[in-house]
Amino acid sequence: MRLRENNKATSEASLRLRRKAQRGNPKFKDLLLLDLPLCILPKRGNDLRSLLLYLLFLFILPYISLAQERKQKPSIEEIRDDITQILETVSEETDAAFNLDAFLEQLVDLYQKPMNLNRASYEDLTNLRLLSPEQADAVVRHREQFGNFISIYELQAVEYMDVDAITRMLPFVTVRSDIDDYQIQSIKQLLFEGDFELYLRYSQILEEQDGYVPLDSGETGTRYAGNPSRFYTRFRYNFPNKLSYGFTAEKDAGEEFFHDTQPRGYDFYSGHLFVRNASIFKSIAVGDFEAKFGQGLIMWSGFGFGKSPFVTNIKKSSEALKPYTSVDENNFLRGIGTTIEAGNFEITGFFSQDRKDANIELLVDTLEDDFISQATSLQESGLHRTESELEDKDAAKQLITGGHIKFQKRASHLALTATHTRLDFPLGANTSPYNQFQFSGDRLTNFGMDYALLIKNFYFFGEVALRNNWSVAMLYGFIASLDPKVDISVAYRYYQKDYFSFFANPFGESRNPFNEQGIYAGISLKPFKKIQLDTYIDYFKFPWLRYQVDAPSNGIDFLAQLTWKPTKKIELYGRYKNETKQENEPGNTSKLDVLADVNKQNIRFNARYKVSESITLENRFEYVIFNDGEKENGYLIFQDITYSALGFPLSVSARFALFDTKSYDSRVYAYEDDVLYSYSIPGFYNKGTRFYLVLSYKATRNIDLWLRFAQAYVSNQVTIGSGLDEIDGNVRNEIRGQVRFKF
Amino acid sequence: MKYFIILFTAFSFLCPSILAGSFDDAVGARSSALGNHTSAISDVFSVSNNQAGIGFLKKYTFGISAKNKFLVKELSLMDAAAVLPTKTGVFGLGVHYSGTSLFSESKIGIAFAKSFGDRFSFGLQFDYLNFRISEYGSKNLFTFEAGVQYFLVPEKLLAGAHINNPLRLTLDEETDEKLPTVMRFGLNYSPSKKVSVLAEVEKDLDYAPVFKAGVEYRVVEKLALRGGFNANPFQAAFGIGLYLKNLTIDAASLFHPQLGVSPHLSLTYAFARKQ
């Protein structure tokens, strides 16, 4: 009884305070302009599944049926857009595919079971990047000061909150007074009331590629062992915030299936069992999982944000352990792990043992007159199609043990990390000048410290990591909201040339934190309500040589993006990116390599227009100027159309694109819609067209179907692709089908 | 001397726009800390940076500024400035000296600026320049510079433009030794009294354009934090400002990735006009 009175008193006091805050808060006025239905979220649970589906569609296949709710939720589209933009930037930077499934899944989970603002920790609030650190911290502080939130409206009274942030987070949060949202009534509920999902996917390139053409008699060469079809199966049971288990299996094109070299069927299997919030155990992972600590200088398996148009998004933050459900065959941990939470302490420990693809060779030891085996390199493609690829498969065993101890208070924390890695074959010594400081041997120990500290509106963070040869990698930075209209971010990195960690995923230019120093500064301005200007500059240097860069080198990367949203239905942005790096001068025939500046500029204009409730159009024009002494340029122009009608089960998304680039150097990247949980960001070069069509059909309450057809055509070439993937012709057609059962 | 000439040549070659004559350097540690932004700032050192800036000043103000480039003794720059607001307009006096007894550059500038309302100001300066190389002799030269500043949005968005040596005077016709002709255009956006975001583009007739950006944040009444950079060539900058009663102390450091650190310190003293 007293408790209730107490609560009442606090809530009255807080209401008074809030009213006061609202009166003085100009933001409040803005908020009233939001659609009301957006503020009062529909009762979930009633049609949870359709809501979930709705979100899923929106991410990869936007504007697809089930649109009962979509009118009220422009915010999700915005997030989808954000993700697309980040993806595009990342793939331009790394030129490599990466996995985003886990990130998407988390959002979906959260949509399904929104976070209770009265229970959410600081970490929960920042995990999905819906809120900035100051905002998340302010929410927690607000709650500590004034008691539980009474309604979602209260967010507008929280310091540092703005309309954008509130709109963005609304679909994912709720306000309830339950003691524990995660409370489950029975084991039966835990085991059966979550979602079962089964995905089956098939895709194939229709034209014959060289790798599948049988060898003529007398002809020598390599051929793929299997057929060109690609299969993917995924099963997952998920009870949000409590339990998840499932498996994923994949056969890539060219790999065999239940035959000869692949007696187990699929080439890759992955399985996980993941328990969350079980008494003191924040998480328990068995099977495949991801571990993410600090700023990723020691351990960050899976996807991590880097430089992107979201210029203040430079701090990494994640739960320590997460289930792994993707098909990247190398970038995950396999074993057991757990995180224990005790007061302000969080202790994580894990053990992983997995076989990695590696090229093993025998060397003669002349002194001992003996043979030594060593791995020349670890392979990361995950493809096992040819004899040599199959030979390398799972050739080296990698053992990793690690731990992470974190003391945290809201947004601030101090943590220690240590990992130890062993390989059963030593990684061979590197003999070229450029890689002579890179890791070799069979044992590696890393340890380090990371921190985050929020002082008023300045959020400082950093990590210092050491390897057992005492080389260092460091990253320091801060983000600050100087004004509701001005956010800045600054980061300095110093990665020594002989530092290394297998699962590092650092901020910067390189994929691994060695041989790089740099300083990054970003600023995000919102001078007017509908206009946003984001820009960053990054200066970096590589104190030692790099691959095809035979001298210490440096570079600079600049980006500016202006976004204008004149109405809710229109979004326009213009982007300019300019990156200069140094490489060996091309066409230099003398014995001594000299460096030349290689400059790439991208100019992009993108427009998105929602013509009606069911039709959305998107246009892009992108122009690339590449200059490595000889100037060349390329461009891409596309038109997207997406149709998804209210209450109509079939949705369509299509693109037609024209591209014309002088060579691969001036290629242009563009994100493409795909079947759910599949994604592609191809780079286009030469002269040609691109077309795709994605159909999505909700057959029954439990079954969804996707079908995708994509065609690439080049007019100035007689073949497409290279090596064994080469097609004798100038057209490449690809089909992909997917079905999902949900129960 | 030999060392100096080698360095000078090397620097001029490596980063011409950083060292295109000491007259064009940003004066005042505040400007330095904001990535050498000079065109859309209004303080006492506007006497040398963009004379239009003094047009908005209402107090008698004096300032001294000392800068050292890349910790090379010979590349020291010293400046003094004074601003005298009158009924007809604002008068300014700027004195500059850089170098050593072996080689020096000095300048005396007399400036006049007038603001029309609170939104627009125009400024002009006549310069008397002196170049002196020991045992070779010295050379004197007259030139002028001019600038404007105007608020696009009152108190929030200030634009500034400045041109130095518009008549393209040369130091020596025979050797074609030029006095740089430099133009700058900048914006200064202050969404609140605490924050300023600045951007500037600078074009020297003979070199590629330089882009600059900076942020100033008044953490508390008495303390400002600043940061900025130059691009092309790249140089990072940061600094602080201490605002005491009549005295302002500004300190800044610029970092060039190859050439190193350039510290900068300046003092400003202002007092109100007697009524």
What is the 3-class SS of A381-430, one letter each residue?
CCCCCCHHHHHHCCCEEEEEEEEEEEEEECCEEEEEEEEEEEEEEEECCC
Q: What one-character-per-residue DSSP string does A182-214 give?
A: T--S-HHHHHHSSEEEEEEEEEEESSPBGGGSP
User: Residue B197 and residue A539: Cβ atoms within 8 Å?
Assistant: no
Q: Does B192 touch chain A (CB under 8 A)?
A: yes
Q: Where does residue A494 fall: left (phi above 0), alpha (psi -120 to 50 degrees), or beta otherwise?
A: beta
Of the candidates A681, A707, A712, which has an alpha carbon nearest to the alpha carbon of residue A694? A707
- For an interface test with B, the pick among A478, A483, A535 (most B C-beta atoms closer than 10 Å) comes out as A483
Q: Are B63 and B44 in contact (CB under 8 A)?
A: yes
User: Residue A483 and residue B192: Cβ atoms within 8 Å?
Assistant: yes
User: Residue A486 and residue B215: Cβ atoms within 8 Å?
Assistant: yes
Give the separation between CA B254 and CA B235, rounded to whole angstroms: 7
Q: What one-character-per-residue DSSP string does A274-338 give?
A: EEEEETTEEEEEEEEEEEB-TTSSSBB-S----SSSSTT-------SEEE--S--SSSSEEEEEE
Give the separation between CA B48 and CA A132, rounded to whole angstroms: 41
Cα B271–chain centre separation: 22
- pLDDT tens string B115-156: 998 899 999 999 999 999 988 888 898 999 999 999 999 999
Q: What is the pLDDT of residue A390?
A: 87
Q: What is the pLDDT of residue A359?
A: 84
Confidence band, pLDDT 50/70/90 cuts, at residue B18: very low
Cα A683–chain centre separation: 18
Q: Does B231 touch chain A (CB under 8 A)?
A: yes
Q: Are A385 and A252 in contact (CB under 8 A)?
A: yes
* Cα separation values, A673 from A62, A620, B251, Å: 8, 15, 52
A72: containing domain? 10-79+104-174
Give the separation between CA A313 and CA A296, rounded to whole angstroms: 15
In a domain, A116, yes or no: yes
> One-letter amino acid identity for A596?
A
> One-letter amino acid identity for A342?
A
Q: Which residues of B201-215 are buried (b: 16+ CB within 10 A; e: fewer)?
A: ebbbeebeebbbbbb
Q: Read off φ and ψ for residue B61, nearest 5 degrees.
A: -135, 140
Tokens of A464: 């210092």
Minimum-distance CB partner of B229 among A486, A488, A521: A521
Q: Which helix (H) or strand (E) holds A48?
A: helix A48-60
Q: Chain B partners of A527 at a C-beta cutoff of 8 Å?
A: 189, 191
The CB-side HSE value for A636 (13 A sphere, CA atoms) comes to 28
Q: 3-class SS at A683?
A: strand
Tokens of A662: 């002088």
Give the separation between CA B250 and CA B241, rounded to whole angstroms: 4
Tokens of B248: 């302002």
In a domain, A75, yes or no: yes
Q: CA-nearest residue of chain B to A456?
A: B219
User: Residue B197 and residue A523: Cβ atoms within 8 Å?
Assistant: yes
In a domain, A42, yes or no: yes
User: Residue B191 and residue A490: Cβ atoms within 8 Å?
Assistant: no
Cα A742–chain centre separation: 25
Cα A330–chain centre separation: 16
Tokens of A536: 């960053």
User: Residue B189 and residue A527: Cβ atoms within 8 Å?
Assistant: yes
Neighbours of A697 (CB within 10 A): 16
For chain A, list residues with pLDDT below 70: 1-109, 112, 127-130, 177-184, 364-369
User: Residue A482 and residue B217: Cβ atoms within 8 Å?
Assistant: yes
Q: What one-character-per-residue DSSP string does B188-231 give?
A: EEEEETTEEEEEEEEEETTS--EEEEEEEEEEETTEEEEEEEEE
Q: Does B213 touch chain A (CB under 8 A)?
A: yes
In a domain, A51, yes or no: yes
Give the separation between CA A157 and CA A162, rounded to whole angstroms: 9
User: Residue A556 and residue B236: Cβ atoms within 8 Å?
Assistant: no
In a domain, A726, yes or no: no
Q: Does B6 touch chain A (CB under 8 A)?
A: no
3-state helix/strand/coil string of A62-109: CCCCCCCCHHHCHHHHHHHHHHHHHHHHHHHHHCCCCCCHHHHHHHHH
User: Residue B217 and residue A558: Cβ atoms within 8 Å?
Assistant: no
DSSP β-ladder status, A173-174 and A115-116: parallel
User: Residue A539 and residue B257: Cβ atoms within 8 Å?
Assistant: yes
Tokens of A98: 């990466």
pTM above the 0.95 mark? no
In a domain, A111, yes or no: yes
- For an interface test with A, the pick among B158, B217, B254 (most A C-beta atoms closer than 10 Å) comes out as B217
- For an interface test with A, the pick among B195, B198, B234, B254 (most A C-beta atoms closer than 10 Å) comes out as B234
Give the separation between CA A194 and CA A209, rounded to whole angstroms: 43
Tokens of A667: 């290629």
In a domain, A272, yes or no: no
Q: What is the pLDDT of residue A67?
A: 31
Q: Chain B partners of A483 at a C-beta cutoff of 8 Å?
A: 191-192, 194-195
User: Residue A484 and residue B191: Cβ atoms within 8 Å?
Assistant: yes
Tokens of A115: 């976070």
Q: CA-nearest residue of chain B to A536?
A: B213
Q: Does B208 touch chain A (CB under 8 A)?
A: no
Tokens of A326: 């993707």
Of the candidates A159, A245, A175, which has an alpha carbon nearest to the alpha carbon of residue A454? A159
Residue the block writes with tokens 């030139």: B143
In a domain, A540, yes or no: no
Q: Does B261 touch chain A (CB under 8 A)?
A: no
* Chain A closest-CA separation from residue B206 CA (Å): 21
- pLDDT tens string B209-242: 999 999 999 999 999 999 999 988 899 999 999 9
How many A/B residue pairs have CB atoms within 8 Å? Answer: 42
Of the candidates B213, B225, B189, B200, which has an alpha carbon nearest to the alpha carbon of residue B30? B225
* Chain A closest-CA separation from residue B190 CA (Å): 10
Give the separation between CA B33 and CA B76, rounded to whole angstroms: 17
Q: Both ends of chain A: CA-CA distance in Å?
A: 43
What residues contact residue A16 under an 8 Å CB cut-off, 6+ apart? none
Q: Does B223 touch chain A (CB under 8 A)?
A: no
- pLDDT tens string B171-214: 878 888 888 899 999 999 999 999 999 999 999 988 899 999 99
Minimum-distance CB partner of B191 among A483, A539, A556: A483
Neighbours of A562 (CB within 10 A): 15
Minimum-distance CB partner of A523 among B215, B234, B236: B215
DSSP β-ladder status, B177-178 and B182-192: unpaired
Q: What one-character-per-residue DSSP string does A569-620 give?
A: TEEEEEEEEEEEEEEEPTT--SSS--EEEEEEEEEEEEEEEE-SSSEEEEEE
Neighbours of A449 (CB within 10 A): 14
Q: Are A36 and A175 in contact (CB under 8 A)?
A: no
Tokens of A20: 């006061």
Of the candidates A651, A693, A643, which has an alpha carbon nearest to the alpha carbon of residue A672? A693
Total domains present in chain A? 1
Q: Read off φ and ψ for residue A741, nearest 5 degrees.
A: -105, 135
Q: Which residues of B138-159 are buried (b: 16+ CB within 10 A; e: fewer)?
A: eeebebbbbbbbbbeeeeebbb
Q: What is the pLDDT of residue A365?
A: 66
Beta bridge partners of B243: B248
* ipTM confidence: 0.85
Q: Both ends of chain B: CA-CA distance in Å?
A: 53
